[in-house]
């Protein structure tokens, strides 16, 4: 590998970090991680940093941005900046759940399919996976909200029921490939138990693939969560949530642009930060 450490050196930790950043995609990864860290930290610590509560009426309605309120006030006189950061747990947090649950279940099911010997089991589950994947996610999600009722937790349930199939398909394909690799054969010849081989040798090689997919899926899920909220299917006003805030401010778009722009920018910021990480990692993988 040309971009790998050509020869390991006994350099200090600081130099090693420098070296790591200098390799392809390093700066993109750093920028992406910092952007994502900023919004996450602000989201977690906003009650300490902000003078106002998310649902507190602090002044005249539709007050434009000023020093006291950098993102202005909304139609009910709530501080928009506080609300944008207060929305982080419901947007990024829910998106995180909506990615990690299907990631884990999908990977486990995919590996099981990869090692399964029972033809009927494999065919049955594979058809189920193909069936689920055939439906467009957003449309089914809207249809399922009709049954489950609106709410963020329901969005997580819907994503968990739907997304695992994509992860399972990736994991299965990968598991079949990994199982034929020489290192798996070598592990078998070393006399390791089957359980050990699956957990220690197959799973890490499969999950590297599904994890990579999860990172790009994260962007999509953020947009799905806020999109559903915008339509009123997930978080609903007065909850602080970017999609819901945009939907709320839409009626005042002519008089108060700050109600929609700032939550929109927050969605962009998180999506772009993740794109930076994804792009940086794939550049590192390609080595340019």
Partner 1 sequence: MTQPLVVIDHLKIDVRVTKARRLAIVDSATFNIERGQFIGLIGESGSGKTMLCRSLVGTLERRGAYISGGTLNFDGIDLVAASQKDWRGIRGKRIGYVPQSALAGPNPVMTIGAQLSEAIRQGEKMDSKQVHNRAIELLNIVKIHRPELVIRQYPYELSGGMRQRVMIACAIAQEPQLIVADEPTTGLDVTVQAEIMDLLQEIRKDLNTAIILVSHDLLLINEICDDIVVMHAGVTVEKLRSSQIKDTRHPYTQALYNSRIDIVEPRGKLVTIKGQPPTVGAWPSGCRFAGRCDFVKDSCSVEKEIPLITVGDNHGTACLQYSEIWK
Residues that bind partner 1 (CB under 8 A): 1, 4-5, 8, 10, 181-193, 196, 200-201, 204-205, 208
What the block records as the tokens of 157 is: 């349930």
Our CB check for partner 1 shows the closer of 47 and 204 to be 204
Our CB check for partner 1 shows the closer of 181 and 251 to be 181
Smallest distance from partner 1 to CB 192, Å: 7
Smallest distance from partner 1 to CB 283, Å: 17
Smallest distance from partner 1 to CB 285, Å: 12
Positive or negative torsion for Cα 92, 277, 163, 207: negative
CB 225 within 8 A of CB 266: no
Our CB check for partner 1 shows the closer of 205 and 275 to be 205
Decide: helix, strand or coil at residue 96: helix
Smallest distance from partner 1 to CB 158, Å: 32
Q: How far is CA 26 from CA 35, 203, 213, 281, in A?
A: 14, 27, 19, 8
Our CB check for partner 1 shows the closer of 11 and 255 to be 11
Smallest distance from partner 1 to CB 169, Å: 21
**DSSP codes joined into one string, 138-197:** HHHHHHHHHHH-S-HHHHHHHHHHHHHHHHHHHHHHHHHHHHTSHHHHHHHHTT--HHHI
Our CB check for partner 1 shows the closer of 36 and 213 to be 213
């Amino acid at each position: 590998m040309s971009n790998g450490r050509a020869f390991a050196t006994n350099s200090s930790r600081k130099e090693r970090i420098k070296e790591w950043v200098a390799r392809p995609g390093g700066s993109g990864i750093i920028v992406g991680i910092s952007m994502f860290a900023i919004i996450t930290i602000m989201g977690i610590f906003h009650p300490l940093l902000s003078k106002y509560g998310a649902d507190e009426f602090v002044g005249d309605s539709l007050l434009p941005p000023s020093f006291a309120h950098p993102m202005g006030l909304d139609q009910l006189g709530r501080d928009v900046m506080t609300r944008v950061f207060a929305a982080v747990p419901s947007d990024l947090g829910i998106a995180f759940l909506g990615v990690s649950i299907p990631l884990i279940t999908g990977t486990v099911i995919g590996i099981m399919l990869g090692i399964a010997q029972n033809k009927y089991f494999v065919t049955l589950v594979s058809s189920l996976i193909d069936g689920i994947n055939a439906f467009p996610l957003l449309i089914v999600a809207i249809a399922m909200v009709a049954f489950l009722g609106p709410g963020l937790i329901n969005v997580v349930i819907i994503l968990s029921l739907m997304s695992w199939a994509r992860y399972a398909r990736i994991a299965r394909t990968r598991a079949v490939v990994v199982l034929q690799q020489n290192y798996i054969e070598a592990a078998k010849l070393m006399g390791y138990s089957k359980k050990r081989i699956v957990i220690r040798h197959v799973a890490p090689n499969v999950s590297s693939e599904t994890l990579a997919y999860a990172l790009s899926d994260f962007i999509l899920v953020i947009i799905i969560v806020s999109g559903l909220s915008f339509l009123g299917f997930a978080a609903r006003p007065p909850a602080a949530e970017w999609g819901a805030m945009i939907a709320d401010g839409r009626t005042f778009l002519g008089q108060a642009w700050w109600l929609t722009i700032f939550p929109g920018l927050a969605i962009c910021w998180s999506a772009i930060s993740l794109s930076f990480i994804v792009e940086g990692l794939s550049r590192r993988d390609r080595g340019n």
